[in-house]
Chains A and B, each alone.
Chain A
């Protein structure tokens, strides 16, 4: 399709050079706003052009007239509206016969005004390098005249355009010089006519976007060089890609066109082997980006992305044709081209930039170059961060947030030395962590939980959170729990540091706040006692505060998004510690009434934030409402030994929640003193008062919580709840108060004299809290009930011999006297299984029988236990000789082993999970098998008279079918599920069917997904950027004024 041979290609350019003709071609399309300036700039060149031709492709804003006026009617070519840039240029060249000697073509867009000396500089550079066939100027922004747009462009193998510039990089001469580049823009491109003819000009299949890249690539393949000459400057408005004008060369959206062309050009120009790799990368990359765009609520972008890919893949013929036309020199020159493509590491560098930008408090920075990025609005001067561009590692490790996290991590590792490296983490409130993500998912989704006595209650929703996290961590539940619980201190510090980035300007104050927060007594206490709930809430609480600020202070979609996000995270926190919801709801309601009048939509946003948790956790919330005492408890075990039953008032006021692993009370004195000192300042009194209000509220709730004895619905001794979370609220209030007024310290220090001393002393007192807390924590280590190596309570002997669903009664003497018991089914329970409530009747009956067994009174206690499917009775250390003697005296128990650490007894006539009771009351076990779906298949032998088939599980939504007939159900012994059965032999299938459970699970999944999408950061809103309708500053073009001031003036002038 391109005229091939061209002998000129081989012929060197003769030197000394004769006069070189330059033909400038200005293609205009609805560019009336800029065209006048462009033409003026072209005509004013220090090295005048020899021929100047204007092309108008059916403009509707009078471009043709402007061109005619400036160039004369004879020099203007009118083409139809659908003509592309390449076609227009080609059209002109067919009408202009090539002159004698070397001739240059200077391509100009209507929105591209070259500097006075641009052409001169380009030609000078061309003379220096005889192999140069294409030269391009340095492009700068039309409005913000010092803003760099391009100094040559390259792509990576996915077609991602790369200018090599930072976002909003200003021209300070940092790229000056003549560079070999892969391509230059057609805006201001100077190209040798013979080369143009030889390679065939711009590809008409690429009417817009990437035509320049394709042309330059072909020029390179032909053995020429492409140079960017920064001495030549042009100002470019990028009108088409910024959608300042409609594109009529193609009916598609520019974004889609751009993606399609990018992939097309890459695939057409890469040699075959690289092509295959690029193809795979593009397919997967595009799909991945599409998903990301969908999640980011940019469905149209996603559609563009995927349809661009589809368009490329759907036309293999076009691709083959294009590749065939580019065969020559493609492979030979690829080595040269490869050097100019974006290096492979760039993607990681981009990621690192984003992370670093996020840490330093910026939004995610798009450093891809500006072809797509809309001009960002004015941002605060971030000169320092840009100047310290000294490598990714140094930037990351120079960041105070990262340093703080690393320091906290080191402190944590030092303090938790006793916990690391064990086999099984557990103790305190934490059940020994066993199982994997799939077990947790099963626990969350099953409608009946065959653990302990059995329960058809909703699994606590934190199980789903842990399961999701474990899934991300490749199914390792222990890792998920360790990260959340053991890593809660550095995580809380990081989250506090990040959450305050828009709140606190001073890095020092942020570091102090984050460190103090992370090392609160609540945090160390939560780690010692294995309170994963409090640990999670500690990490989330700063995020709540940040989102709530965005919700109350922000407006429009930002506030709404914050509301959805807050709702979702609140649901997560509530799943672990229900009290969080109550505290947040009260504070939120107060906030809504206070701010509701000032800002529209705050009420609705607060409603969303508080409503989402209720909807997401609905069935579990109903369970909670039935047992209001549970609101005070949190995920995990409730044990009297983990709380201080008589928490001293001084502890409550010094944010020390009682229990194991706490520093002395005076450690927090520095924090409280700093917060009290903030009250003396006259400024920001409103915020200080609000913060103290939250603190007092938190302490009040902590007092109430620590005074009300509660029992876990899943069974526990009675003890007051642990007031950790309300204390964390109180501490947050105090911290914010102190940190917000920290800038006064800097002012005091600057003032010198006595004030300087006061500032230093205050800072020292404030910093004493985190330093002392960290020191004390490291010194004592974690000695508390949490241990990295908890022994398995379930004896291997009993575990190995238990059939599916058979229970083991475990008795343990409790330290204060008396015994505790629990029921296991062949294994240690999963996290969350211990929070399942068993039906009261079932539990009461079982407790009486178990107590009777332990007393040694004889009787039919063992029989009662066997109706529960108990096969083993286990006594664990410290084994009380009275108990072991009592169990020994039971004729119905057989001792299997007894040692000082544990004893195992076997029920001599166990009934198993399913048994048959005849009319006389005789009970016989029946064989039972469990199938993959959880249903039970029971083989009932023939027997006399009417019988009852008993399933040793709490009565509920069980159905049994013998063949096709459904058996009528009944409740046996006040708790278990029975089915009436005749005398014949049967194969009975028993299943638990709870349709609503499944429906709710799906609804929950859909709701979570919806909330996630609504909360996800969406498309950036269009900032009120510069309007390109503004006339560009006329005379200042030649010597552009320094950036922002000039721009501001320009804007002012426009108004």
Chain B
């Protein structure tokens, strides 16, 4: 020991050994991998849902909550009027409730709480055999929002009515903008919808000229439920325009039925920049780019159209759009026959959290089909039918190969039924639409409903209490 200390290099050696030991300790204790990512958002059942069926007069109104659960809850169906009493109170999940309402009826507010909220889905459907509004006319009842987009034929081509309803307790200050083929034709047309009130706006009064249009409804305060109805005229059909996703750089318009008829793509670029939108059609055989029509130019603030009738080739399909500039897109589908019916699809999100379609029918002449598209990864979903009466049949599993569209015929059932589509674990993003058609002598009646993300689950983000929030 003494020799070690007296040696000139003794201390140095000791310290070097200690440093090496410290290095070893630090090396061994160094955590593997990068810093742990925060846990993914948790799925919780939705606690409360409120939807508005815009114009239920004479329509079959369907309400369903897909899942039976331990919890209790009720859903009420109330006409949108001040101090109105609920027409019906529902408390049985897992069963479709459907009723045709009276000829004169205000919009209906469907409100689910607790067990009757998770996945609450409502829709209104009517079949008109003749007349100006001949056709299958159906729409998914939407919840009040602060921003909504619809895209379809313009007031010059059809009779467009915008239905705004405010079931909330605060007044909604609404601004409406209309984009047409020639550019923005109406900017920030303002109106106020008082709580418990609704209004119908004939777009012809605001902007008579557009042949095609995209409408943006935005509230600066409060919320409104938005729906738009298009009547193309006698023999041309009528239907509701589904609410589209907000402008995005990647848009999927799902659920285009197979068979004959006209298919027209509408793309709006509501921003300040011109858009060059790449168009691909996803069919049962995979992606398909239209020859010489790989892209479509959309000037800023305007709506452009592209005829897909030949490109789709009668196959069930989805349209996938990519753009550097956020766009809104929809497709107009026309049925075959002497008197045609029209139906609309619009951009929709993936059904990662499942989706429910409330009103489906299968019969001799009627058929309901799901058109599911998987992008990138193969999709795998479970399809569960919930009839109005009786025990539900066994759920079926549907596999959609990667980058393919698959058409699923829904089983025949007695009376109307709901269908619940739930992605299975490991499934890639699935987009889809439901096609409901009715073969009549005059021609095919058709209505479409893009699958909207279900209201069953909400993703609760991982939330950390941190005073660092005050810092950018």
Contact = CB atoms under 8 A, between A and B. Distances in A.
A895 B471 CA distance: 23
B114 to A, nearest CB: 9
Nearest to B25: A703
Nearest to B246: A881
A645 B34 contact: yes
B44 A852 contact: yes
Interface stretch (B15-23, B235-243, B280-288, B294-302): B15-23
A331 interface: no
A700 B39 CA distance: 32
B246 A696 contact: no
Nearest to B220: A895
Contacts of B31: 645-646, 707
A896 interface: yes
A894 B463 contact: no
Given A645-B34, A649-B30, A856 B458 contact: yes
A680 B9 contact: yes
A707 B45 CA distance: 38
B80 interface: no
Interface string B394-419: 00000000000000000000000000
Interface stretch (A199-207, A815-823, A1023-1031): A815-823
B117 interface: yes
Contact of A858 (B18, B48, B169, B221): B48
Contacts of A689: 11
Nearest to A696: B18
B466 A703 contact: no
A935 interface: no
Interface string B119-134: 0000000000000000
A649 B34 contact: no
Interface stretch (A280-288, A537-545, A843-851): A843-851
B463 A816 contact: no
A877 B469 CA distance: 10
A534 interface: no
B468 A843 contact: no
B221 to A, nearest CB: 6
Contact of B463 (A650, A819, A838): A819
Contact of B470 (A432, A851, A888, A908): A432
B26 interface: yes
A699 interface: yes
Interface in B157-177: 168-170
A645 B35 contact: yes
A692 B10 CA distance: 14
Nearest to B460: A855
A944 B169 CA distance: 27
A860 B37 contact: no
Contacts, number: 221
B146 interface: yes
B464 A821 contact: yes
B465 A857 contact: no
A810 interface: yes
A877 B37 contact: no
Contacts of A652: 22-23, 26
A941 to B, nearest CB: 23
| Of listed B16, B44, B467, residue having the most chain A CB within 10 A | B467
Given A648-B30, A857-B460, A432 B471 contact: yes
B443 to A, nearest CB: 40
Interface stretch (A347-355, A519-527, A714-722): A714-722
Contacts of A851: 460-463
Nearest to A430: B471
A682 B464 CA distance: 56
Contacts of A854: 460-461, 463
A821 B466 contact: yes
Given A640-B35, A649-B26, A850-B463, A820 B469 contact: yes
A594 B129 CA distance: 104
| Of listed B466, B468, B472, residue having the most chain A CB within 10 A | B468
Given A680-B12, A822-B465, A888-B145, A855 B458 contact: yes
A817 B143 contact: no
B1 to A, nearest CB: 13
A637 B467 contact: yes
B292 interface: no
Given A814-B464, A857-B45, A696 B15 contact: yes
A630 interface: no
A685 interface: yes
Interface string A683-699: 00100110010001001
B273 interface: no
Contacts of A859: 46-48
A791 B458 contact: no
A715 B467 contact: yes
A432 B472 CA distance: 10
Interface residues of A, number: 85
B425 interface: no
A791 B472 CA distance: 8
Contacts of B18: 696
Contact of A685 (B11, B25, B461): B11
Given A689-B11, A817-B37, A818-B461, A793 B469 contact: yes
Interface string B435-447: 0000000000000
A828 interface: yes
B170 A894 contact: yes
A642 to B, nearest CB: 9
Contact of B467 (A427, A794, A829, A896): A829
A404 to B, nearest CB: 29
Contacts of A790: 471-472
Contacts of B50: 891
Given A818-B38, A888-B146, A843 B46 contact: no
Contacts of A632: none
Contact of A715 (B29, B458, B465): B465
A648 B22 CA distance: 12
A383 B47 CA distance: 87
B93 to A, nearest CB: 16
A802 interface: no
Nearest to A846: B465
Interface string B332-374: 0000000000000000000000000000000000000000000
A45 interface: no
A427 B35 CA distance: 21
Nearest to A651: B26
A855 B41 contact: yes
A795 to B, nearest CB: 12
Contacts of B117: 858
A477 interface: no
A821 B471 contact: no
A646 B12 contact: no
Given A816-B37, A857-B46, A858-B46, A889 B145 contact: yes
A431 interface: yes
B117 to A, nearest CB: 6
Interface of B: 5, 8-9, 11-12, 15-16, 18-19, 22-27, 29-31, 33-35, 37-41, 44-50, 117, 143-147, 168-170, 219-223, 246, 458-472
17 contacts: A427-B471, A639-B466, A639-B468, A653-B26, A715-B467, A818-B39, A818-B462, A819-B462, A821-B464, A821-B469, A847-B463, A851-B463, A858-B46, A881-B246, A888-B146, A895-B146, A895-B222
Given A793-B471, A877-B472, 15 more contacts: A432-B471, A676-B15, A680-B12, A696-B15, A700-B22, A716-B464, A793-B469, A794-B470, A819-B463, A819-B464, A820-B468, A822-B465, A829-B470, A889-B223, A895-B219
A-B pairs, top 7 by smallest CB distance, nearest first, are A859-B47, A858-B48, A857-B458, A834-B467, A715-B465, A649-B26, A818-B462
